[in-house]
Structure 1
């Protein structure tokens, strides 16, 4: 094995580790949403755009809360799938 091959393998291994770490992080986030009771979405200035507590929502907001959680889980699952494909291509 020459130096160039070793450098190539190291670069691929670094990319693979970063992808695996990201998949692990997203998976943990998705799993944590199952027990979520509070949602907060912020803009770049750290101001709340959406602030909703499942335990103290206005009547009828339970459906909205559930929809936000399920949509976020689906988006995380989609991103995980893309990352797994990227990892397989490495």
Structure 2
């Protein structure tokens, strides 16, 4: 019912930017891992003459590597986020 304070808007804006940055980092990291597995698998298949074997193996193994990397990035980013102190609840009840 009341309009949020400008300080609260700035905090929400900063939090949204943090979420966007973490999301883009995770997306880029996922892309790099999968493309690396694909190119590495194709290169190994070409070098050893085993067409689909290394490509499929590296792509399958890139899935858990990607999940672990995503969790690591998200945990690292969330550990740096500091909680916002809550406003005085008594003041909010009177308003």
Could you tell me the TM-score, scaled by structure 1's length?
Answer: 0.50
Larger proportion of helix = 2
Could you tell me the TM-score, scaled by structure 2's length?
Answer: 0.48
Larger proportion of strand = 1
Rg larger in structure: 2
